[in-house]
Chain A
Amino acid sequence: MNANYDLKQTEKASFKLAAYGDGTTDLSMGLIFLLLGLFPLTRELLGPSWNVLFFLVVLSLVVVTQGWVSKMLGPSRIGIVKFGPRVKNRMRVSLLITVTLAIVMIAAWVLAVRGWFPGTPDWLGQYGFEILVSLIVLLIMWGIAYSLGLRRYYLYGILLAAGFPIQAATSVYEGLPWLVAGGIILVIGAFLLIRFLKQYPPLDEGEEA
């Protein structure tokens, strides 16, 4: 029996199991980053406009499929839980912070394209956007890792944040950092899904596992 009666830990454990326990979030994140890694290649094949359309269609498919799979697996294996206003508020704040950071990223991109402020050092003018985006990605992923106790997100943060400067500073295939990061996240997601399927067999009420 679980003897841990620390309420915050209990709340975190419930949320972690309900939202991240099945590994499908990791799988879809891995797929999205693999897709990003293939983006330069598909751009060559399809041209810029069709490539963006292709990217958006596949992205939507990944997100919808993840939602569907998660819904198919969750209720019969781990059950259904509704979280209270405290968790909902925390999620709203997280969403607000993510949207704000996304706006900052867009603003930085516009500034990078138009040229930074006069007097900006050369290195900052050249790599300023990549550095900023890296820091923001790291902040988001580490924020999730810390607030939910999801240690693997520290690794995801490093993998994803490293992609931008590596892409900018080296002459390797520009999608390679994303392919590597996506591949690693995908493998972790697959491992989590298999572990989840073994650990939580489908249950009917009253029926022992």
Chain B
Amino acid sequence: MNDKATNPLADLDQIIHTPARLNIMTQLYVVESADYIFLKNLTGLTWGNLSAHAAKLAEAGYLEIEKSIVNKKTHTVAKLTGEGRKAFEAYREKMMEVLEKK
């Protein structure tokens, strides 16, 4: 049996519950928006990982990704959507609740 009673982590948002995606969500939660260079520097992810995990978050509706061309180079800016902020807050609350349970 693997329900909420035996496994309190079972109903955690699995989209966020991955170190790389949690890292991206955390960095974006404290700012309004950030480009991929800033996110790469702060999360320590590779371009490939950053891009793949950000796409996954965007697919879930948590992230808004805006691509543009600046000086003939791609420039990508990411920001959390309202839904993304709510999901992050819920995840954080749930995680704290689980970790603080004795």
A187 to B36, CA, bound (A): 32
Q: Is B41 touching A17 in the complex (CB atoms < 8 A)?
A: yes
CB pair A204 B73 closer than 8 Å: yes
Structural contact, A205 and B26, CB atoms closer than 8 A: no
Contact A79–B37 (Cβ < 8 Å): yes
Q: Contact between B73 and A79 (Cβ–Cβ < 8 Å)?
A: no
Q: Is A206 an interface residue (CB 8 A)?
A: yes
Distance A203 CA – B70 CA, assembled complex (angstroms): 13
B36 — which chain A residues lie within 8 A by C-beta? Answer: 79, 205
Query: When the two chains form their complex, are residues B44 and A1 in contact, meaning their CB atoms are under 8 A apart?
Result: yes
User: Which one of B33, B42, B75 lies within 8 Å of A13 (CB-CB)?
Assistant: B42
Q: Which of B41-59 contact A (CB under 8 A)?
A: 41-47, 51
CB-defined contacts of B47 to chain A, threshold 8 Å: 205-208
Question: How long is the Cα–Cα vector from A14 to B33 in the complex, in angstroms?
Answer: 12
Task: Name the CB-closest residue of B to A18.
Answer: B38
Closest to B74 in A: A205
Q: Do A5 and B31 have beta carbons less than 8 Å apart?
A: no
Q: Which residue of B lies closest to A11 (CB)?
A: B30
In whole angstroms, how far apart are the Cα atoms of A83 and B41 in the complex?
A: 16
Number of interface residues of A (CB under 8 A): 29
A2 within 8 A of B: yes
- With A203-B37, A205-B75 known as contacts, the answer to whether A1 contacts B19 (CB < 8 A) is yes
A79 contacts B30, C-beta separation under 8 Å: no
Q: Tell me the complex Cα distance, A161–B36, Å.
A: 41
Q: Measured between alpha carbons, how far is A205 from B76 in the docked complex, in Å?
A: 8
Q: Which residues of A contact B19 (CB under 8 A)?
A: 1, 3
Q: Is B41 a contact partner of A1 (Cβ separation < 8 A)?
A: no
* B33 pairs with A79, CB closer than 8 A: no
CA distance A206 to B75 in the complex (A): 10
B64 interfacial contact with A, CB 8 Å: no
A7 at the interface (CB under 8 A from B): yes
Whether B37 and A76, one on each chain, are in contact in the complex, defined by CB atoms closer than 8 angstroms, is yes
* Contact indicator A203/B31 (Cβ below 8 Å): no
- Given A11-B31, A81-B31, 6 more A-B residue pairs with CB atoms under 8 Å apart are A5-B22, A14-B27, A77-B37, A79-B36, A79-B41, A208-B47
Q: List 12 A-B contacts (CB under 8 A).
A: A1-B20, A1-B44, A5-B22, A7-B26, A10-B30, A11-B30, A11-B31, A13-B42, A75-B37, A79-B36, A204-B73, A205-B36
Residues of A within 8 A of B (CB): 1-3, 5, 7, 10-11, 13-14, 17-18, 75-84, 87, 200, 203-208
